[in-house]
Amino acid sequence: MRISFCESQAPVTPIAMLTQADVVCRYMDQTVQEQGTHDELMSKGGEYARMWNLQANAFT
């Protein structure tokens, strides 16, 4: 499963599905900014991780 999302649009994919994707791509201005598995992107601590943590913390 490959999941892509754009920062300028709210992703329609439930956040939990991102952890199951083979590849997650984060786009901005039609350019891939980050790409990898959920765990890889979280370990990098980039914008994907920041957005994940913001959304995940909203539910706790």
Domain total in the chain = 1
Secondary structure of the chain in HEC code, one letter for each residue: CEEEEECCCCCCCCHHHHCCCCEEEEEECCEEEEEECHHHHHHHCCHHHHHHHHHHHHCC
Could you tell me the pTM of the whole model?
A: 0.73
Q: Does the pLDDT value for residue 3 go beyond 60? A: no
Instruction: Give the pLDDT score at 29.
Output: 81
Is the model's pLDDT at 9 over the cut of 90?
no
| Residue 7: predicted pLDDT | 54
Q: In the chain, pLDDT over 90 holds for what percent of residues?
A: 28
Q: Binning pLDDT at 50, 70 and 90, where does residue 41 land? A: very high
What length is written for the chain? 60
Residues 57 and 29: their CA atoms lie apart, in Å, by 27
Range of the domain at 52: 2-58
List the end-to-end C-alpha distance of the chain, in Å, as a whole number: 27
